[in-house]
Amino acid sequence: MIDSTTHVHEGSNRYLLLGASSFVGRHLFQQLGHSAAVGTYFNNAKKYMRYFDSVTMSLGEIIRPDERFTHAVILLGDSQPDSCHADIIKSQKLNVTSIVQIIDSLVSYNIIPIFISSQFVFDGVRGGYTEEDTVNPILVYGQQKVAVENYLKDRCEAYLVLRLPHVYGSVKGDRTLLTSWLDQILKGETRIRCADDQRFSPIYVGDVAEAVRATVESGCVGTYHVAGPQIYARIELLKMLLSKLQDRLDIDIEIEACSINEFAVAEPRPIDVSMNTDKLIRDTGLTLHDAGAVCEQIFRNYLL
């Protein structure tokens, strides 16, 4: 393995985005542009993207003979913990078996894999996790992510593992955390049930796209936590949104506090999966958006 301070080849990078029709994938594809990236889709057909079923197809069926990629970002898979648990055999085929096959193909093509992993590789006992902390997933989904991370480390010399927390956006109707709450409020709901015990480091989707580009251009390899600059309890995030919104609208919202595990979840959720981003900032110089600043952009998108 190459240490995370080792630099890989420099020059013009060209990306294969596997799962570019996903929420993160669309933003990354838009930022990189068609000249630097080729994207794939499975369920959500998108213009300029190629169809790819990772369970039944090989990369050779979508990579043209004259194409040369330096990096491949692996964004595809089932990212819903409940559905991963509901059908473990199906999710294992998609989230582990097909990804391992992709990694083997990328190695044969001399393409550096960038695997998008998750905060759920941790058990959530203490939070503030660094890249050096031992993983201990309690969710099936987290166990699947760890299986791929371990395979990458054993199989590849140059690779990136980017662990993401909850990713949110700022566009009306994107159905992410902050905008979903705002949608509820603007539809006239006056009561929102919200967990007061779960803690995490939510990140703005634009920062995720920028982090992929920055880690590659900075020559980073190894594992990085790509998370927001602040740690929030879920209810703190909601209260912040409401406080800022009440400066603009006359609203009266009641918050019903509860545990994250009082919701209908298939497996008990980790409580504190907040992650430390010192390594990412040190190695890339990125400046990450706090959720409070993104709230202002959300209001502009919704209320102006």
What pLDDT, in 10s, does the model give residues 113-142?
999 999 999 999 999 999 999 999 999 999
Q: Is residue 258 part of a domain?
A: no
Which pLDDT score, from 0 to 100, does residue 85 have? 98
Q: How far apart, in whole angstroms, are the C-alpha atoms of residue 302 and residue 228? A: 23
Is 241 part of any domain?
no
Question: Global pTM?
Answer: 0.94
Nearest CA to 217 out of 160, 274, 143 is that of 160
pLDDT band for position 3 (cuts 50, 70, 90): very low
CATH code, 76: 3.40.50.720
If you average pLDDT over residues 252-278, what whole number do you get?
Answer: 97
Residue 257 located in a structural domain = no
Is residue 2 over pLDDT 90? no
In a domain, 32, yes or no: yes
Domain, as residue range, for 41:
15-165+204-227+269-289
CA distance 299 to 304: 7
Looking at residue 114, its pLDDT comes to: 98
pLDDT > 90: what percent of the chain? 93
Count of domains for the chain: 1
Question: Is 50 domain-assigned?
Answer: yes
Sign of CA dihedral 287, 292, 295, 300: negative
Residue 119 within any structural domain of the chain:
yes
DSSP string for residues in 222-265: EEEE---SS-EEHHHHHHHHHHHHHTTS----EEEEE-GGGS--
60 falls within a domain: yes
Asked whether residue 5 carries a pLDDT value surpassing 70, the answer given is no
73-117 confidence digits (pLDDT tens): 999 999 999 999 999 999 999 999 999 999 999 999 999 999 999
- Residue 182 in any domain: the answer is no
